[in-house]
Structure 1
Amino acid sequence: LSRDIMRVPIPQGLEKPPQLDTYDRLTDPDEHIENIDVLLNYRQVRGAIKCRLFPTTLRKGAMAWYKSLPAESITSW
């Protein structure tokens, strides 16, 4: 995640990540992102915070993919 994303403070009430569905590369990734987006939009969560929450949903191969990305390569939701 970019430095700008990491500088955005976690809003009150999101100190503990909300319960979100997990993704492990065995199901549709677009559906996973859409489901997260709908839930976080409902809670009025901004893009930078969505970026910070997204990795908490990844498991197995999906987390391996995320960890393989270049440092600071994610700059927006």
Structure 2
Amino acid sequence: MHPQDVEKVVEKLKLHLNGEVNEFECVYRIKGSNDKWRWILDKGKVVSSNAAGYPIRMTGAFKDIHQIKKPKAI
């Protein structure tokens, strides 16, 4: 994950894990196999919690949105 995106992703994940938002959704950059940064859309949701109510399992998916998100050449 790109260092400039870590704080944003952690905050959004905390909001979901604390039950403040129904789903986790975030756009951030990861390093691709060619060692270049790519934009992805990551979505997830807690699907089970333990007896104390703490999340123990999430499910989700992410999608490469680099072609949509990258700056267009002029």
TM over 0.5: no
Higher share of residues assigned strand: 2
TM-score per shorter chain, which class? under 0.3
Higher share of residues assigned helix: 1
Give the TM-score taking structure 1 as reference length.
0.26
Give the TM-score taking structure 2 as reference length.
0.27
Q: Which has the higher contact order (CA 8 A, sep 6+)?
A: 1
